[in-house]
C-alpha cells in the first residue's frame, strides 16, 4: 500500500472533469489538483511555452510527494508528455492516448473528427496516435479557440456557444465523420450541445473514464495503490483566484469544493529550476 496522493493538473478548470472520474473510479485514493488559472488558457500559446509550464507544474507536484501525475489537459499532454516521461521519477498519465484508442474502436467508416484547442491541433499528436492504431483511419482536426472562454463564461449553454459549436462542427459534418473526439477537458460540460449538433449517428469520444482506468491500472501494475477500505480525500491548488476557482470549479467537478489554496507562479517556476 502507498498512501501518497495522486497529482492532477490542468491550465484551469477543465481537468476537473477528469478528476471527477478518477474520484469515482478510485474513491480510496487521495488527490491533489493544481489549476494554473494565472496562465489560462494554454490553447493559443506556443507549444514550447506550454511545455515549460507543464514541466514547472509536474516538478512542483513531484516535490509535493505525489506517487503519480495525471496531465488532465489536452494541450499540455500534446506538448509535453514525452518530455515529462523522461524527466519525472514518478509515472505520468496523459489524456490523448485513451481518446485516440477509444475513437479508433468506435468508428465504423474510419473517418474521425477532432475538436480541440489550437495548440493541441498544431501538435499533430492525435494524428500520430490514431495512425499508429489504424494507418487507414482519417483524422479531420478543427481548432476551436472560442469554446473554452464561452464554457468558462457566465452562460455556457447559451446561443453563442451553440453557434460556435455549429461553426466548428460544419467541416466535420462535410467530411462525413462518424466519430468525434472532444479533445479538450472543458468540452464535456457542453456535451448535450455537441450531441444536438451532430445527432445520435455520431459517436462523441471523451476519455475521462478511460484515463481514470489507466490510472487505476498503472497503480496496480506498480503496486502503489492505497488501502481500498478507506475513503480518500482531495485538495485543490490554483495559481489564480481561489474564490473564483471554488465557484467555477463546482460546475466542472460536480462535487463540493470546500477550499482552494493559492500557489504563486514563481513557486512553480522555481520547481523547474
Catalytic residue among 22, 73, 144, 213: 73
Picking from 65, 74, 60, 58, the residue whose alpha carbon sits closest to that of residue 123 is: 74
Final residue in a domain of this structure, among 206, 221, 239: 206
How far apart CA 257 and CA 253 sit, in angstroms, is 8
CA distance 89 to 87: 7
Residue 203 to residue 180: CA distance in whole angstroms: 6
The CATH number given to whatever domain includes residue 152 is: 3.40.50.1860
Q: What's the pTM? A: 0.94
Q: What is the residue whose three cell numbers read 477532432? A: 114
Question: Looking at the domain assignment, is residue 74 inside a domain?
Answer: yes
Q: Is 213 a catalytic residue?
A: no
From 111, 237, 253, 250, select the one nearest 177 (Cα to Cα). Answer: 111
Question: Are residues 221 and 266 located together in one domain of the fold?
Answer: yes
Q: Residues 87, 56: one domain?
A: yes
Specify whether 144 is catalytic.
no
Residues belonging to the chain: 273
**Which of 206, 239, 260 is the C-terminal boundary of a domain?**
206
Task: Please check whether residue 179 is in contact with residue 185, taking contact to mean a CB–CB distance below 8 angstroms.
Answer: no
CA angle 26, 27, 31 (to 5 degrees): 80
What's the total number of domains in the chain? Answer: 2
**Within a domain: 1:** no
Output the CA–CA distances (angstroms, integers) from residue 58 to 96, 129, 178, in the order listed.
Answer: 17, 23, 36
Q: Please check whether residues 43 and 87 belong to one and the same domain.
A: yes
Is residue 163 a part of any domain in this protein? yes
In a shared domain, residues 103 and 197 = yes
Q: Does 223 lie in the same domain as 89? A: yes
Do 126 and 198 share a domain, yes or no? yes
157, 172, 206 - which closes a domain? 206
Residues 181 and 231 in one domain: no
114: domain range?
Answer: 96-206
Same domain, 195 and 220: no
Minimal CA–CA distance to 147: which of 196, 192, 190, 177? 190
pLDDT at 207: 77
Do 260 and 137 share a structural domain? no
Closest by CA to 165, choosing from 185, 178, 151, is 151
What gap in Å lies between CA 43 and CA 145, rounded to an integer?
7
Q: If 0-12 CB within 10 Å is exposed, 13-18 middle and 19+ buried, where does residue 109 land?
A: exposed
Q: What is the pLDDT along the chain (273 residues), one digit of tens a residue?
A: 899 999 999 998 999 999 999 999 999 999 999 999 999 999 999 999 999 999 999 999 999 999 999 999 999 999 999 999 999 999 999 999 999 999 999 999 999 999 999 999 999 999 999 999 999 999 999 999 999 999 988 899 999 999 999 999 999 999 999 999 999 999 999 999 999 999 999 999 997 988 999 999 999 999 999 999 999 999 999 999 999 999 999 999 999 999 999 999 999 999 877
> Which helix (H) or strand (E) element contains residue 214?
helix 208-222
Contacts of residue 145, Cβ cutoff 8 Å, sequence gap at least 6: 43, 44, 117, 118
What 8-state DSSP symbol labels residue 39?
G
Asked if residue 180 and residue 105 are part of one domain, the reply reads yes
Residue 16 domain-assigned? yes
| Residue 198 and residue 102 share a domain | yes
Residues 104, 190, single domain; the answer is: yes
Amino acid at each position: 500500500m502507498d498512501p501518497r496522493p495522486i497529482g492532477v493538473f490542468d491550465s484551469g478548470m477543465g481537468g476537473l472533469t477528469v478528476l471527477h472520474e478518477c474520484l469515482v473510479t478510485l474513491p480510496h485514493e487521495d488527490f491533489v489538483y493544481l489549476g494554473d488559472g494565472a496562465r489560462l488558457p494554454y490553447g493559443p500559446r506556443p507549444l514550447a511555452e506550454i511545455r515549460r509550464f507543464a514541466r514547472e507544474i509536474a516538478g512542483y507536484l513531484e516535490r509535493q510527494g505525489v506517487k503519480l501525475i495525471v496531465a488532465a489537459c489536452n494541450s499540455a499532454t500534446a506538448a509535453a508528455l514525452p518530455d515529462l516521461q523522461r524527466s519525472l521519477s514518478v509515472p505520468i498519465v496523459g489524456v490523448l492516448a485513451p481518446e485516440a484508442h477509444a475513437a479508433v474502436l468506435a468508428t465504423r467508416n474510419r473517418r474521425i473528427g477532432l475538436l480541440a484547442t489550437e495548440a493541441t491541433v498544431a501538435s499533430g499528436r492525435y494524428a500520430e496516435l490514431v495512425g499508429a492504431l489504424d494507418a487507414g483511419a482519417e483524422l479531420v482536426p478543427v481548432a476551436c479557440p472560442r469554446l473554452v472562454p464561452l464554457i468558462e463564461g457566465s452562460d455556457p449553454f447559451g446561443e453563442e456557444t451553440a453557434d460556435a459549436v455549429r461553426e466548428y462542427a460544419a467541416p466535420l459534418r462535410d467530411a462525413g465523420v462518424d466519430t468525434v473526439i472532444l479533445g479538450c477537458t472543458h468540452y464535456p460540460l457542453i456535451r448535450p450541445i455537441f450531441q444536438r449538433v451532430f445527432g445520435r449517428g455520431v459517436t462523441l469520444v471523451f476519455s475521462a473514464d478511460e484515463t481514470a482506468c489507466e490510472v487505476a491500472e498503472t497503480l496496480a501494475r506498480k503496486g502503489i495503490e492505497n488501502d481500498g477500505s478507506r475513503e480518500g480525500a482531495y485538495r485543490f491548488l490554483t495559481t489564480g483566484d481561489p474564490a473564483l476557482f471554488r465557484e467555477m470549479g463546482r460546475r466542472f467537478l460536480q462535487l463540493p469544493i470546500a477550499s482552494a489554496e493559492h500557489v504563486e507562479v514563481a513557486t512553480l517556476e522555481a520547481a523547474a529550476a
